[in-house]
Structures are given as C-alpha cells and as structure tokens.
Amino acid sequence: MVNYHQLKAFIKHWLTSVDKHSIHSPFFFDFYNKVILDKTDPGQFSETEQLRSNLLVNSTEIEIIDFGAGSKKLNGTKRKLLDIASTSLTPQKFARLYYNIITYQKAKNIVELGTSLGITSLYLAKSKACHVTTFEGSRSLADVAITNFEYFEKQNIELIEGNINSTLQEFVQNPAKINFVLIDANHQYAPTLRYFNMMMRRLNEKSIVVLDDIHWSEEMERAWNELRTSQLVYGSIDLFRCGILFFDPDINRQHFVLNL
C-alpha cells in the first residue's frame, strides 16, 4: 500500500534539501562534514549487524503490547521477530549516524525512548565510557533486547521496562544532565511532545535530541515542526528519516534540510 503522506513528504524533502555548499554556518558545516558525512568503519559494528541478520530470519513469535501508534504494516498482537526486525529496526546508516553524534559530542549520558529489539541500543553503547538508559513498553520486546545485551556482555546499558508515560516521569526527577536523547517510541503527536518536554528538565545547551520518523505520519510531522520552531530550540536538521535538535543559543536559530 502506498503511503501518500510519506511520498509527498519525501518529494518536498528532495526539492528543498541542500548540500554542504549551502551551509554557511560554521557549526553546521562542521557537523555536516564530521558527523553526517563521516563514513565510520562499518566493520566495528559487524557483530551487531550479524545480530540484525539473525533477527531477520528468526521466526519466533512473541506477544506485543503496543502503547504507541502501532505498526502500519503489522496487525495483531502476536508477531514474529523477523517481521518486527524488518519493519521496526533503525537502518544501519542511521544507527551509525547516532553513534557518530555521540562520538562527536563525547556523550556520557544517553537516553533512548523505544528499545525494540536492542540493535540501536548496542550502537549507542559502543563506547564503554558512556551509559545508555533505554525505555521499552513491551515486556516481550524488552526480554529479547536484554538477551541481546547479555550476549554482548554490555554492562553500560540499563533497560527500563513499562509504559514510558509512567517510567519516564520518575526517571526525569534525577537532576543529572543528559547529553543525547533518541525519541523513537510512541509516534503520536501528543506523547512525542510530552516526552520532549519531560526530557527538557535534564538537558543543557550542549545536549542533542534526535526525533525518529519525523515524516512517518501527519501527526509526527506536526510534532517535528512544532518542536523545531520551539523557543527552546536554536537549530535543527531534517534528514527525512529523523530530525536533530540543538539547544545552543550561539547557533542563532537555523534550520537545514539535508540528505544522509
């Protein structure tokens, strides 16, 4: 089935995107070249990508409790791991982008909303110097992800299982600042804004927030446009699949539509 909203959004993105020659901001020029265009050696993620390959052929069926917008491609509560992997996992090039961002930031404290099967979590936790807190609403997905973390002997990932509306509220009471946040959970307008506003309590001007699937639906596009124009946000990058938000006043409120 053709998703006409995504098709229209993609055409608009393609028509409005620019390359590095149109980026006159020193900060964004540096970020584009060092982070977005950086071709990190994929070999260092070979074991994680082998896990992805294994999941893509795993016919094990699990029961899913979905607190978000659900899947546009999968129906019912019982789903095979291979179907979840083929429709829900972050593509490799974007998982590598997120790794590039936290490397560029030298991020120590990382939050992921929406663990799924744990592939992106493993990318985020590649550096032993960082700590990743990842949230998953579905117990069965959380169990699979934890198994994957244990296989890789990851000691720097903490998974918080349960409805994010409740678990995140408690988490943000801790005053320690967060360097990087990936919001890839509910995919609805109101919860997306709620999660963002809750996380703002723990961000500072050097923090970076990535919002996944910003053109997934009219609701998500509306949430993205509202957040990137928020008075709290001083810069943003639209990569179609995801949007990146910056909070440093020195950026002077600039927005770029770019390709990865």
The per-residue DSSP string of 34-71 comes to: IIIS----GGGGHHHHHHHHHHTT---EEE----SS--
**Ordered DSSP codes for 200-218:** GGG--TT-EEEEE-TTSSH
Q: Which residues contact 78 (CB under 8 A, 6 or more apart)?
A: 61, 62, 63, 64
CA pair distance 225, 221, nearest whole angstrom: 6
Q: According to the model, what pLDDT value does residue 128 have?
A: 87
Checking if the pLDDT of 238 tops 80, the result is yes
Rounded to whole angstroms, the Cα distance separating 36 from 48 reads 21
Mean pLDDT of 22-33: 93
Q: Which two tokens stand for residue 15?
A: 């028509």
Residue 2 reports pLDDT greater than 70: no
Strands 78-80 and 61-63: antiparallel
User: How sure is the predictor about 1, in pLDDT bands with cuts at 50, 70 and 90?
Assistant: low
CA 57 to chain centre: 24
pLDDT above 80: residue 137: yes
Residue 208 in contact with residue 215, Cβ under 8 Å? no
- Which residues on neighbouring strands pair with residue 112, listed in sequence order? 134, 182
**Inter-residue contact 68 to 186 (CB < 8 Å):** yes
Highest mean pLDDT among 13-17, 220-224, 251-255: 220-224
* 64-102 pLDDT per residue, tens: 876 554 444 545 578 999 999 999 899 999 999 999 999
Please state which architecture CATH assigns to domain 4-41+90-257: 3-Layer(aba) Sandwich (3.40)
Pull the structure tokens for residue 158.
């903490």
For the whole model, what pTM was predicted? 0.93
pLDDT at 72: 47
- Arithmetic mean of pLDDT, 38-44: 80
pLDDT of 43 reads 84
74: Cβ contacts below 8 Å, ≥ 6 apart: 83, 84, 87
Q: What is the mean pLDDT of residues 128-157?
A: 96
The reported pLDDT for the residue numbered 76 is 56
Q: Which two tokens stand for residue 103?
A: 């490397």
Q: How much of the chain, in percent, has pLDDT values that exceed 70?
A: 95
Annotated domain spans of the chain: 4-41+90-257
Q: What is the mean pLDDT of residues 186-214?
A: 95
- Give the pLDDT confidence score for residue 20 in this predicted structure: 83
pLDDT at 240: 96
User: What value does the mean pLDDT take over residues 94-122?
Assistant: 96
